[in-house]
Amino acid sequence: MPAKQIIMCPPEYYDIEYSINPWMDTNNKVKKKEAQKQYNNLKEAFRKAGAEINELTPVKNLPDMVFACNAGYAESDIFVKANFKAQQRKREAEAAEKYFKQKNYRVFSLPENIIFEGEGDIIRTQSKYFLGWGQRSDLMAKDYIEDITGKEFIPLELIDPYFYHLDTCFGPINDELVVINEKAFSEDSLTKIYDRFQHVISANETDNSVLACNLVVLGKNVFIGKGTSEELKNEIRKFSYNVIENDMSEFLKGGGSVKCLSLEIF
Ligand code: ARG
């Protein structure tokens, strides 16, 4: 199997310069050295697990660009560029577009008025595709993404501003196993999740306070933020996965963890 490709963006300009989600407090500045260290540790851990890591060049005045997974959705030779909701993040999509064009991807974009925040709101397993909407991405993005990819997406409605992207509350580990924050979903969407996964692990408050659902899976390894409860880690281990923890405290200040830093190419 070819190595899994992940695009990351070094936290060179990362800081809390504005607040566009409830985790962000402009008085709670980032410790730059610590952020760089946490980022490097995660990158090295991914590499050790066999992933191929490529990096976007960080752009000055784009302090959230470190959260690379929001820049779009990438699958084989297709890149669907994000339309960010916050003015402050819009230029991140252009930087990513440049990168993917250079790598000869076919780049697609949605009409400007339709908000779409990439892999923050698109999460997929081998055979199931989900689109989170209600906080950032628009439900209307679904038809466009389906046309571009030829896949059918299951829409999941998000109702809690703390869990504003699908990847903050929904972490599938494989086609049958998922970790979720139940409270982040409308009743109807929660039913959809239970209908589609044989095993649903419910994250507790401790887990949600460190965005434990914001995980990345590489083979039999699950990468997750430090501070995740022993219960959750043990649940995951029961399905024969290794749990690899990384301190993500500096990135929690921006409202993100492991997955937010990782634009996975499917
Ligand atoms: N500060 C960023 C924002 O609010 C954090 C994005 C985190 N990314 C994610 N995929 N959840 O947009």
Give one DSSP letter per residue of 42-109, joined into a string: HHHHHHHTT-EEEEPPP-TT-TTTT-GGGGEEEETTEEEE-B-SSGGGHHHHHHHHHHHHHTTPEEE-
DSSP class of residue 2 equals: P
User: For 116-163, how does the pLDDT look when each residue is reduced to its tens digit (9 = 90+)?
Assistant: 999 999 999 999 999 999 999 999 999 999 999 999 999 999 999 999
Compute CA distances 151 → 32, 76, 136, 147, whole Å.
40, 13, 21, 8
- Is the overall model pTM greater than 0.95, yes or no? yes
Residues taking part in catalysis:
165, 260
C-alpha 237 to ligand 1 mean position (Å): 28
* Residue 158: closest CA among 126, 201, 117, 217: 117
pLDDT of residue 248 exceeding 90, the answer is yes
Q: What are the residue boundaries of the structural domains of the chain, listed by start?
A: 5-265
Across the strands, what pairs with 107?
A: 79
The CATH topology of domain 5-265 is L-arginine/glycine Amidinotransferase; Chain A (3.75.10)
Please report the atom of ligand 1 found closest to the CA of residue 259. Answer: 10
User: For 158-207, how does the pLDDT look when each residue is reduced to its tens digit (9 = 90+)?
Assistant: 999 999 999 999 999 999 999 999 999 999 999 999 999 999 999 999 99
Average pLDDT over residues 207-216: 98
